[in-house]
Amino acid sequence: MSEKIDFSKPCHVHFIGIGGISMSGLAEILIDRHFTVSGSDRAPSGLTEHLEKMGAKISFPQNAGNVTDDIDMFVYTSAIHPDNPEFAAALATGKPVLKRAELLGQIMEHYKNSVAVAGTHGKTTTTSMISQVLLEYDPDPTILVGAIFPAIHSNVRSGSSENFVAEACEYTDSFLNFYPEYAVILNVEAEHLDYFKTLDNEISSFHKFARNIKKGGLLVINGKTNGLEKIISGIDADVLTYGFDDSFDCHPLDIEYKNGYPSFIPVIGGQALDRIQLNVPGEHNVGNALASIAVLLRMGLPFDVIKRGLEKYAGADRRFQYKGTLPNGAVIIDDYAHHPTEIRASLNAALHYPHKRLIVAFQPHTYTRLKSFLNDFADALSLADYVVLADVFAAREKDVYGVNSSNLFELLKKNGMPCSYFHTFEEIEDFLEKNSTDGDLLITMGAGNIVEVGEKLLSKAK
């Protein structure tokens, strides 16, 4: 069979690592298009249970026996290593074996109005903002987000209209498989250095992504992005910049804050529009909203619909998400920030949020990131009043980099930052329970499982 997915010819697709947030979304889109879907993962989850209810056959754990003769095509994630026995068995069949991003790129080709949201930070939020507006305008868009999006109670929505919006992740050059009509680049910073090695390599990758935008399409890009001129050089798409002063094509006027949430007057291409009141905190979300407005206007949506959708948007899962209030009055927020720039953005947003004291329980994500940005992490976390550190969430890595949370702890102490470091979540929960009080804003922060700390504190309080 062809290595190209054809919606008019459903076949049997097997997902190796089907429980991932993006893999499960792609599987759901194919099920909705009448494909036969099977898959495997290490253990069951809410996402795999949902897919099974839709008709997918899922095996646990991964092994070569899951590869059967009736499978037409295999899809795998970057988390699958070459020595994975199921992956090796799939290759041995001689049938098409696609990376997750290759499949996503092929699916994107089936939609006339495709939007790909890229950038080192803010992809999930901006994708969700655009999605929220599309839901106001189009009864049946297709959406693929990197987190649970409350408006659809899922990370995916499979629709039948021409509108498709998805995150475009730069890691391992995944987004180079996408050829969208509209694209956003929110920022480009040194990140995923285990793959890119240097910022220059990363900028080159974003340039290739920008060149993939269809001729006559649109790129909306942060005007202060590293390597801006190189990224937009020679591309066939129109370009709009956004930023926080009138040197950019899109910028805000008169930012005001109400209970921590900003409102502003968007100026797009020289035209001042009606004031928008956001329901997510932080100046960085003003930027995300500006990028969203520029894309949506180009897609032909009326501004009153865009304004209504953005004012309705209240965030995605784990993006400055209110989790609850403890009996002692401390408010618990969870945030996915795991890069120093993201931490600064989230903590600056928190400074506008009503509180007396800001306490951050932070879990570093990957040893390579901690090693690359150790001083930057210490500097960003200094925006808090008190920091509680957890051990590193290793993700795909092994502890061979000569750095861990104790190094960050010592640096924070050296800088005069009040802080504590615990090896277990139980110790962190006990400390926070005993040392938080009314007026405290307690943020669990990181891309690992630190969210469990706040959830456990709230469950114990019931």
- 125 as an active site residue: the answer is no
Radius of gyration from C-alpha coordinates of the chain: 22
Catalytic residue among 77, 120, 124, 126: 124
- Considering 28, 48, 86, 123, which one is annotated as catalytic? 123
- Closest C-alpha to 209, from 120, 279, 292, 132: 120
167 is a catalytic site residue: yes
Cβ contact 134:145 at 8 Å: no
Catalytic residue from among 86, 102, 136, 167: 167
The token pair that represents 154 in the structure block: 């899922």
Q: Which two tokens stand for residue 295?
A: 């894309």
In the numeric block, the tokens 């035209």 are attached to 271
Q: Strand pairing partners for 166?
A: 116, 144
Burial of 92 (0-12, 13-18, 19+ CB in 10 A): exposed
Say how far apart CA 154 and CA 19 lie, in whole Å.
Answer: 13
Distance CA 455, CA 332 (A): 9
**Cα–Cα distance for residue pair 254/246, rounded to 1 Å:** 12
Asked if 296 and 308 touch (Cβ cutoff 8 Å), the reply is no
Task: Report the catalytic residues.
Answer: 123-124, 167
